[in-house]
Structures are given as structure tokens and as C-alpha cells.
Structure 1
């Protein structure tokens, strides 16, 4: 595979999706391959290279999980221990859940916590403690260990465990436990550290079809454990190589025992009809693609999108970073699929939806919601559409610009009578999910991107 062939595909795909600046890296056959194209910002353009810093969004969760597993390996934290052993002041909406939720429940999204809370607890060293103190306001959507549902709040709470056990701020602890021993010299949390280096700026697509700078550049400090790292393509490939290895840094220094590193990539809970994967390990999503096990995580943050995928049995990794929404996600996915096919011969295809069924469509149509967003499924002619919006009251209460909403997209139901579906158009194309029913058989919820949206009853229900 020619490096020029990869670059040509990346350049053409970035142009197709209208992404200002992208960075793609591949680890294959014992070497790193970079394909960077475009600029950091439309307003203040600089060329993107392998050292340009991008917001990683939720790929940060792999760092939080790894830092916590270092504490597990050192005997300072137990995965099966209740969180209150380390954060005794924890209060949740459900007292039984607060008493029973374990460290592992946080790391594999089985804590039963809703996605998160929209709150800015400041930039001080108490920001994460302040976020956790607000978690009593967060809905408990299921008992701990009952099901998987993706939770930003759960990982922020995991970050607070790291603070309590180490006596350091979360950021200082991750730097000491992960960044420094692995020599990740282009990975940071603080904007003050980022601004003295070349960094990408996110962009959002407006209703007029033009891109504008996404603001703010970064989420609040209280969300750092779930999504606060800014890092470079080169550092991301170094991070991937560590997780493909034996737990030692390139210098030979042991960071994690090999068996602990392997444990992170083993299934802890199965996922159903999820684009995220077939199962969750510890901080990773696991998916079998064309008979090959992949381990990965994606992320989004104010017009910036990241994708990290490793294939342990092939000693292979791919990283894709992009700086415009909503098409940064399909750009990253297209790149990852192309790389898998052309470097490994692994084909990743979406399942074909069933023909439209009006009776089933009417049954699932309706409005669903989580704390800050609504998901509406509508019957449009002889088809179904899905629309995801930030709640108006959340937008009105925000002091900053929030990401643009996703335009209505087509969805189709999948075979097998499993209440599973796939999005077939728009920025969410390829996303899969399923509907949840109560004991009477009525649809009461829908899962999208690993999050459970509960159905809002109508006047006739």
C-alpha cells in the first residue's frame, strides 16, 4: 500500500465532506504513516501536521480508564469496590444505586446513570468535586449492572476517584500516570498549554451551508475525565502502540502489567445493535469486523471529531481527526473503513434495512429524551426520519454557543424482529440502535450511540 494512495484518499474524502483540516495516521508493518490535509482554522489558517493538537472528546475516556487501571494494578483501587469507598460523599438520585455502584460500573457504562449534567463548575482545582456534588440531580435510568448506557457523568465520577486516591488534581494525576511515562509530549488538558502550540479549531455547518468557528473551543474543566484531552496525531499513534503492546513504554519502563492491559480489551458487558461495538471492555468498545476483533473509541467536541481503532491480532492501528461538524463523523468513519479494507483486507459494511412497514413505523414514532436532548422519530411519506436536537431551554440557558443540531435523517428497521434500526442518511449515517419495550409490549425507549432516550408519553397514552 503506497503512502501516496492513503494521502490521495484522505484529501479526496476531506474535500467531499468539506472538512477544513484532517489528520490521519496508520500503524502497519511496524511503521507509522501520516496523511494530513488542510488547515487548522478557516479564520486563521495554518497547515495541519502530525503534531497539530485536536480535541479528542470521548477518546479521553481511554486515558481516564488507563490511569485508573494503573491504580488498580498498584492495589490502590479495586474494580469491584463500591465507589463510595473512594468518594464517600457521593449522592445520587437513587440512594441504593449510590451505595451499590462500583468502579467497574463506571468504566463499562453500567452504572445506570443518565448521560450527564449541563453545568459549569469553574476552572479551579475543585471543578471536578463540584461536578460530582451536582450528580444528585442526574436521573438514574437503571439499577447498577442492569444494562449498558453511555454516561459522561460516570467517567467524570471515575476521574474524581483518581483525584481522591492520588491526592492530585485529575489532570496532574493523568499527566503523571500516563502522559509522562509514555512521553506523550503533545497531550494536554489546559487551554494555556495548548495555545502556545499549533492546534485545530472546530467548525459547525450553518443553515446557510457555510462553516463557522465553533465556540467555545473546549468543554468545562469538570468534564475533563470524560472528554478533555487535546492531543496530536503522533501522540495518538503512540497511545495506540502502547495499547497494542505489553504494558511497557517505548523506553522500556513498565506502565501497566501486560495482563491488566489485556484485561482492558476483554468484554465485560454485551452491547445490542450498537455502532459503538458488540461489547464494552474497560474504557474500550469491542467489535468484530469481518471476523477480526477491533478495539476502539470515538469522540466529538465542539466541531472536532476523533476516531481511534486498533486491531490487536494484526498489530495495527488507525487514527482519524477532523475539525468540522456534522460531517467530521462520516469522514472519520469513511477513512477507517477504507484503511481496514486496503491495509488488512477487512470489509466493514452496514446491514441493509427492511422495506418500509407502516404499522411498525406508527408504533415507534414519537418523541424521546435524555437530560439535554430530544430525539424525534416521525413518519414521512413512506419512510421514517430521526431528528436529534438540543433542548431549547438548554440552549437558552447556555452562556456559550452549543453544537449545531442534526438535521432529520432517514432510518430503516433491520431484520429479525429485534426492534433494531440503522440511520441511512445525514451526519449520523451508519449509526445503529434499538427500541425498548415494557412488559405490555409498548415501545418506551430508544437507544442511539449507546444512550437510552426515554419516550415522552402523548396525551392519548
Structure 2
């Protein structure tokens, strides 16, 4: 394995160049390597109220929040109050799904590794009160089911919000209070908050959306509703996230030396539980963590996004390495963050993360892919222009119409993609903000294409 040395100045220069290339108003980067922290901050919190980005600037970290929810839940496992293999109804007896047998069968572990057979999410707002999460769970009978429990992995936001309700019912306390007292406080995370009232009194980044004319516009939404806190509602800083990374690279002890989580469960989080096929998200899910082998090295991480803000969080346990990248503009926060993550892996560890090369266009093979695919909030159309295949993802008109005052992100331009060598069902996106994203087309027992996986989510074919 290569060992590479680089200078902090080189990181700062690369971050500045990447921010300029992708038009990021602000980027915050933190690295833990060789027993020290390195920071590189660039730009401003907002184009309307430009305050310099620092390692103490709060960003909305989206789905990276799931790692905190998991750690809080596993503390309850450590205490013997939750059994990962128990049915979820053991702790949430009020749970109702579209199918009664499904609701009775899913386990806590299946929520943690996205094998519960739940669709991605229900987009609704059940308020900011202490009953917001309970009210959300009461609507889960409306959530589509995509397969039997344990049948296949498919990323579910709703599943993690349901885990938040497990925590509430077991402890008798609001989800956010439990995480603050059992995770934030003992680890020493002083810059991580769920509530806007806590965020607004501190330096925080605003998200931005690039408009059709190329100009950036500040997002008026900072995060989703309270019911989404377990799956994606945390605000945090690079400084706190590096401390979070160091905890998960450690032995489970907190700031004062007391055990926060047993070393056994901390390690179990990082062990594969289900393999993912042709996914940029991961090669496998652990307990929440996304596990990838990159250039012969195991990486552990979880990214997040929402309302024009993006978080990338990666650990390399065998090298005691962590890297965090936070940015604040859509859609190019995704490739900007990924470029910085890859640069850090290569220049500090000698680990090269390269995209696979697609095969040439197959005119005979392509037509069977064409059609419209669907999840609860979006449709995806697969088509070709000449010899180029495209995936076009759009938010459903009825979703936009139902929430005219909400800030729903703009649709991306169609993504060009190519099929990968092998059985021809796997693909890679070759340009645009999702460059390098991988996925695959699903087939039934008769060989007919029935769905497409993108970013770990199953889109079901509807035409």
C-alpha cells in the first residue's frame, strides 16, 4: 500500500480550486490523519449574507444524521432494552403498514440495514411538536412496500424515522433529547443540533439552488420537518464531525473516558450485513454504515444531502483516517465533495478511487431498458438520443402541487449513462452532477425488467 505525504497548503489550494470549478459558495473540509486534525475552509455561508466559512460553521448534514440515530439505538441494545432481531412491533406496537404480515415481520436490524422492504419515504409534515414523529409513524400505512422483509436492500428514509420512534417508545423521551444526552454529551459534541432555534443563534451555512439562468439562489428551507430528524435532521460542523469520526475509529469511550458504546457493537456497525449490487453508495450495508472497498482498502461512511447542502463523511479504519466535506450548493455539491474526498484519499493515503468504464452503445440491447420508473416522489424515464442513453429524474407534479410553499429542489438535467461489462444490467452515469453513480436494472423470474436502482433506491417500472 502506498504512503503519501502532502502539505496542508496543497489541500487548501485544491479545495479552493474545486469550489471555483463547481461554483460552491462555501466548502468546509476536515481530515484526521497521523494523529492530527487538518482544516481547509473556503468561501461564505450565504451569497445574501456572506459570512466566512470556518470549521465551526453549522451545515445541514442530511442522511449522515442516520449514524447518530444508530449509535443512540445501539446504546439501548448495549443496555439490553432493544434486541436487533426482535420485530419492530415489540417496541412500536402501534405500527401499521399496507400489509399486516409485513408490519408484524420486520425487525429492528432490517430497518438499520435497509432490508425492511419499505419504500423510500412519505413526504408529509406532521409538525414541530414532541408528537411529530409519532404522528408520522401513524401515517406509514400509506407507504408503498417494495418486497418482503429481508428480501433485498433498498434505502429507506422512512425506515430510519421509524427507528427514531423505537427510541422514543423505549426511553419515554423525545428522540432529540435521548441523542443529546446519550451521544452528544458523553462524546463531547457541542456543535450538533436538531432544532432551528439552536442553529439560528450560531454561524450556519445556507443552501443554494442553481437556477435555469445559472445563478445561485439561497434556499429558504434549511431542513425538513421534525419527523425527519432521525433520518436526516441534524445540523453539525466539521469540527464536531471529525470528533464523531474519531469516536467511531476508537474503542467506544467518550470524552471523559467512560464507555458510550461497547467496542463489540462499535465494530459490529462496520461489518457487512447485506451486499449491494453495482451501487456507488456502497458494496454493502453494515448497521447503517455504508461499506466500500476502494483500491484494496475498506472505507466506512455515510453521506447526506438536502435543500442545497451536502455532507460527505468517510472513515478508513485500518489507517485511522477520517475525512469530512461540507458544501452548500445544488446540484454540484455532489461532484465537488466527491472530488475532494478522492483527492484526500489519494494524497494522504495513496488510495485511488476510479470510476469504471462503460461499454459501447448496443442498439439491440438498449430498447428493453426504455420506459418510466417510479418511487413515491419521483419518476425516472430511460431513453436514448442517437447512441447515448439517458436517465431523466423528475419530482412528480402532484408532489410540487401539494406543497406549493415548500422548497422542493429543482430537477436535474437528464443524466447520460452507459452499461457496464458483464450481464449488461449494470450501469454508470457518465456526466453531470451524478457522474460516477452506479446502479442496475432489476428483472423478474422470467427475465423482464421490472425496476432500476439509483443511489440505493428501487424505482419500479410503471410503463
Q: Deviation per CA, 1:172-192, whole angstroms, max 9, x where unpaired?
A: 111011111111000000000
Residue 409 (structure 1) aligned to one of 412, 415, 419:
415
Distance 2:400 2:227 in 1: 19
Query: Residue in 2 aligned with 1:3?
Result: 8
Matched, 1:179 2:184: yes
- Residue in 2 aligned with 1:215? 220
CA distance in 1, matches of 2:70, 2:288: 5
Q: 2:49 — aligned with what?
A: 44
- Contact 2:87 2:106 (C-alpha < 8 Å) held by counterparts: yes
Answer yes or no: is the 8 Å Cα contact 1:274–1:450 preserved in 2.
yes
Q: Quick check: 1:294–1:310 contact (8 Å CA) kept in 2?
A: yes
CA distance in 1, matches of 2:272, 2:101: 26
- Tell me if 1:198 matches 2:203: yes
Distance in 2 separating the partners of 1:323 and 1:119:
24
Task: Answer yes or no: is the 8 Å Cα contact 1:215–1:402 preserved in 2.
Answer: no
Q: Counterparts in 2 of 1:293-372, with a 5 A limit?
A: 293-372=298-377
Gaps spanning 5+ residues in structure 1: where? none
Aligned length: 457
1:275–1:431 Cα contact (<8 Å) kept: yes
Which residue matches 1:420? 426
Shift of 1:208: 0.8
2:92 pairs with 1:83: no
- 1:446 matched to 2:448: no
- Secondary structure of the corresponding residue to residue 389 of structure 1: strand
- Runs of 4+ with >6 A deviation: none
Counting only pairs closer than 5 Å after superposition, residues 273-292 of structure 1 correspond to structure 2 as 273-292=278-297
- Which deviations, in whole Å up to 9, do the C-alpha atoms of 1:238-272 show, x marking residues without a partner? 00000000000132121011111000000011100
Match of 2:352, SS state, is coil
Q: CA deviation at 1:121?
A: 0.1
- The answer to whether the 8 A contact 1:214-1:302 is kept is yes
Q: 1:409, 1:423 within 8 Å by CA — same for their partners in 2?
A: yes
SS in 2 for 1:197: coil
| Contact 2:118-2:143 at 8 Å conserved across structures | yes
Give the whole-Å Cα distance in 2 for the aligned partners of 1:451 and 1:284.
16
Residues of 1 paired with 2:166 and 2:332: CA distance?
Answer: 35
Q: Is the 8 A contact 2:359 2:419 kept in 1?
A: yes
Tell me, yes or no, if the aligned pair for 1:204 and 1:303 is still in contact at 8 Å: yes
Note if 1:386 corresponds to 2:400: no
- Which residue number in structure 2 is paired with residue 400 of structure 1? 406
Q: Which of 227, 238, 258 in structure 1 is aligned with 2:232? A: 227
Match of 1:32 in 2: 37
Question: Using the alignment, how far apart are the partners of 1:374 and 1:175 within structure 2?
Answer: 37
SS in 2 for 1:306: strand
CA distance in 1, matches of 2:40, 2:275: 34
Q: C-alpha separation between the residues in 2 aligned to 1:375 and 1:299? A: 21
1:259 is aligned, of 252, 256, 264, to 264
Measure the CA separation in 2 of the matches of 1:293 and 1:231: 25
Which residue does 1:240 correspond to in 2?
245
Distance (Å, rounded) in 1 between the aligned partners of 2:458 and 2:203? 37
C-alpha displacement of 1:418:
4.6
**Contact 2:186-2:255 within 8 A present in 1 as well:** no
Aligned partners of 1:263, 1:324: CA distance in 2, in Å?
35
1:62 correspondence with 2:67: yes
Q: 2:105 aligns with which of 100, 115, 130?
A: 100
**Secondary structure, aligned partner of 1:362:** helix
User: Residue 272 of structure 1 contacts residue 433 of structure 1 at CA under 8 Å; is this kept in 2?
Assistant: yes
Q: Which moved more, 1:208-217 or 1:298-307?
A: 208-217
- The corresponding residue for 2:3 is none
The whole-number CA distance in structure 2 between the counterparts of 1:215 and 1:393 is: 21
2:148 aligned counterpart, secondary structure: coil
Q: Do 1:203 and 1:212's aligned partners in 2 also have CA atoms closer than 8 Å?
A: yes
Q: C-alpha separation between the residues in 1 aligned to 2:7 and 2:242?
A: 19
TM-score calculated relative to the size of structure 2: 0.98
Unaligned runs of 5+ in 2: 1-5
| Cα distance in structure 2, aligned partners of 1:301 and 1:201 | 11
- 2:438 matched residue in structure 1: 432
| Structure 1 vs Structure 2 CA RMSD | 0.7
Give the whole-Å Cα distance in 1 for the aligned partners of 2:153 and 2:406: 31
